[in-house]
Homo-oligomer: A and B are copies of this chain.
Amino acid sequence: MLYFIGLGLGDAKDITVKGLEIVKQCSRVYLEAYTSILTVGKDALEEYYGRELILADRDMVEQEADEILKGADVSDVAFLVVGDPFGATTHSDLVLRAVNAGIQYRVIHNASIMNAVGCCGLQLYNFGETVSIVFWTDTWRPESFYDKIKKNRDLGMHTLCLLDIKVKEQSMENLMRGRKIYEPPRFMTVSQAAEQLLEIVQNRRERGDDLAISEETICVGLARVGAEDQVIRAGTLRQLASCDLGGPLHSMIVTGHLHPLEVDMLRLSAATPDALQDLRMTDSSTYTS
């Protein structure tokens, strides 16, 4: 049996009791290590689980899947994923390979950012399509996520923005020289995401576009959701551009229509006492900004 086990979002103890029991009995345990991170490292997980973990980076999962699946038809192998195994990144490819090889699989679910964002007080019902915001470079500055946010906002929906993670990236020079030397991991902050979004807003304004988002749009920054030192900060897009929410992982929400109960919840994590002040002055049934 191949077990896909979600680890949740915080530390070693966010695994489910069922998941932990399975980890302890499997012949091999892989840790998927390229789409998300916990607040604790591999060592802490190994110590808590009492098991050696085999790091599975993207190359391994994509190119050496047979290695992961080896023997899973006669013994139990676990594949651990931060969050939920079918959260932001699915592992459909590995599932299909397993099934084609006659290997049964089972999923042990857990929280992922896709549902845990509800803790900020915005209703999961009211979220539209989730978008990803990638690190811009000097020459590559995609704006497509803006258009998706716009579509959601036009429908009154909130947008969860997953922020870029660069793990095991090679510099152009090392890549060209075939040197397997990797850059330090980088995680986009809420501030960086907000800065990029502000730049797009400015670009669109100069082009005379109908603006779906402005500097005053209410957004929510989230850092280390589910961990003890989780931070949630609600404020205008401009305010979030200058906030420091600490270490990774960060996510951001661009709000759509806000219901009164959602506003009350956001006030609990307002960036400044008057950050959500203006919302009090709009009509009583729903709020927009």
A286 to chain B, nearest CB (A): 15
B-chain residues with CB within 8 Å of residue A18 when the two chains form the complex: 10-11, 13-14
Measured between beta carbons, the chain B residues less than 8 angstroms from A31 are: none
Give min CB distance, A198 to chain B, whole Å. Answer: 24
- Most B-side CB within 10 Å, residue of A18, A124, A265: A124
Q: Are A129 and B155 in contact (CB under 8 A)?
A: yes
Most chain B CB inside 10 Å of its own CB: which residue of A85, A90, A226, A262: A90
List residues of A (1-52) whose CB comes within 8 Å of B's CBs. Answer: 6, 8-18, 20-21
Q: Which of B99, B121, B128 contacts A129 (CB 8 A)?
A: B128
Taking CB atoms, residues of chain B closer than 8 Å to A118 are 84-87, 90, 114
Q: Give the residues from 115 to 172 in chain A that come closer than 8 angstroms, CB to CB, to chain B.
A: 115-116, 118-119, 121, 123-130, 151, 155, 157
CB atoms of B99 and A109 under 8 A apart:
no
Of B11, B87, B124, which contacts A130 at CB under 8 A? Answer: B124
Q: Tell me the minimal C-beta distance from A231 to chain B in angstroms.
A: 14
Number of copies of this protein chain within its complex = 2
In angstroms, Cα B128 to Cα A9, docked, is 23
Chain B residues within 8 Å of A241, by CB: none
Closest to A264 in B: B96
A279 at the interface (CB under 8 A from B): no
Interface flag for A95 (CB, 8 Å): yes
Interface string of A216-233 (1 = CB under 8 A from B): 000000000110000000
Is A112 close to B, CB under 8 A? yes
- Cα distance, A18 to B10, chains bound together (Å): 10
State in angstroms the CA–CA spacing of A95 and B118 once bound together: 12
Contact status B121-A95, CB under 8 Å: yes
Are A124 and B86 in touch, CB under 8 angstroms?
yes
Nearest-CB residue, chain B, relative to A95: B265
Q: Is the CB of B17 within 8 A of A15?
A: yes
Give 3 closest A-B pairs by Cβ, nearest first: A86-B118, A109-B111, A115-B115
Can you report 25 residue pairs joining A to B where beta carbons are below 8 Å apart? A8-B16, A8-B109, A15-B16, A15-B17, A16-B17, A17-B17, A84-B118, A85-B119, A86-B119, A86-B121, A90-B124, A92-B121, A92-B261, A92-B265, A93-B261, A95-B268, A99-B268, A107-B119, A109-B116, A110-B110, A114-B114, A114-B115, A126-B129, A127-B129, A151-B155
Apart from A14-B18, A96-B264, 16 more pairs, CB < 8 Å: A8-B110, A13-B17, A16-B16, A16-B110, A86-B121, A88-B125, A90-B124, A92-B265, A93-B261, A96-B261, A109-B111, A111-B115, A115-B115, A127-B129, A127-B130, A128-B157
